[in-house]
Amino acid sequence: MSKELLTLSERIKMLREKSEMTQSELAKVMGLTRSSVNAWEMGLSVPSTQYIVELAKTFRISTDYILGMNETATISISGLSEKQVGALIEMVKCFPKDKE
Answer yes or no: is 89 within a domain.
Answer: no
**Residue 12, domain CATH:** 1.10.260.40
| pTM for the structure as a whole | 0.68
Q: Residues 31-60: what's their mean pLDDT? A: 95
Closest to 12 in 3D by CA, of 68, 77, 74, 75: 68
Above 70 in pLDDT, residue 78?
yes
Domain count, the chain: 1
Rounded CA separation 12/30 (Å): 13
Answer yes or no: is 96 within a domain.
Answer: no
Answer yes or no: is 48 within a domain.
Answer: yes
Average pLDDT, the chain: 87
Domain that holds residue 38: 8-75
Above 50 in pLDDT, residue 2?
no
Answer yes or no: is 100 within a domain.
Answer: no
- Give the pLDDT confidence score for residue 98 in this predicted structure: 60
